[in-house]
Amino acid sequence: VTRVQATAGGVELALTSDELAVLAATERDLLGILSGHNGSHDDPAAHRTLFPDAYRDDPDAAAEFHALTDDDLTAGKRADAVAVITVFAEARPDGSGAPQRRGPWTRQSSGRTHTVVFMGDQLTALLRNLTDLRLLLADRLGIEHDGDRGHAGRTYAKDRAVYAWLGGLQELTVSALLPGLDAR
């Protein structure tokens, strides 16, 4: 179970090894899409969501805006992902050094908790990056309207679960940041 709490100057996240692995895999998917952002799109749906048109009724203006700003937007999204990956890469399992209890009744060490702290700009990167990851998964799941949980069936079960988990993670992170906003 993911735990999120405000700490002095930051927000502390505690994730299990499984959650870290899922997050890393989704970040790889996102970085893959971002690196392909050069006009020939492998994943048009994800591109439309991650790079929306800035003009709704003016295709020429929309195309011009894309041409002028998409490189910068791509760089920002990639920098956010890298910042988040970097923070999580420093995660160490809680109680490392202590012998793990093992037995036939315990599952691997997959449930071990890893704690990291996001501070300052890293928090903005985290919120923006969690949004990008959810936009990516929403496209994969075909989510089109409010309350839509995405494609049914076993094939999409993992994506649905990850999408919901990332939403909860983002909600908790925003909640942890609210006292700081109120104090401004």
Residues in contact with another protein by CB under 8 A are 49-57, 61, 65, 69, 72-73, 76-77, 124, 127-128, 131-132, 134-135, 138, 143-148, 164, 167-168, 170-172, 174-175, 177-178, 181-182
We find the least distance from the C-beta atom of residue 24 to another protein, in angstroms, to be 20
Please say which residue, 73 or 112, places its beta carbon nearer to another protein: 73
We find the least distance from the C-beta atom of residue 26 to another protein, in angstroms, to be 14
Please say which residue, 9 or 168, places its beta carbon nearer to another protein: 168
Alpha-carbon distance of 64 to 80, in angstroms, equals: 25
We find the least distance from the C-beta atom of residue 144 to another protein, in angstroms, to be 6
The two tokens of residue 119 are: 């501070």
Please say which residue, 16 or 173, places its beta carbon nearer to another protein: 173
In sequence order, the 6+-apart residues with CB closer than 8 A to the CB of 23 are: 15, 88, 133
Instruction: Please say whether the beta carbons of 140 and 107 come within 8 A.
Output: no
Please say which residue, 114 or 134, places its beta carbon nearer to another protein: 134
We find the least distance from the C-beta atom of residue 88 to another protein, in angstroms, to be 19
Burial 90-111 (b: 16+ CB within 10 A, else e): ebebeeeeeeeeeeeeeeeeee
Bridge partners, 115 (sequence order) = 14, 92
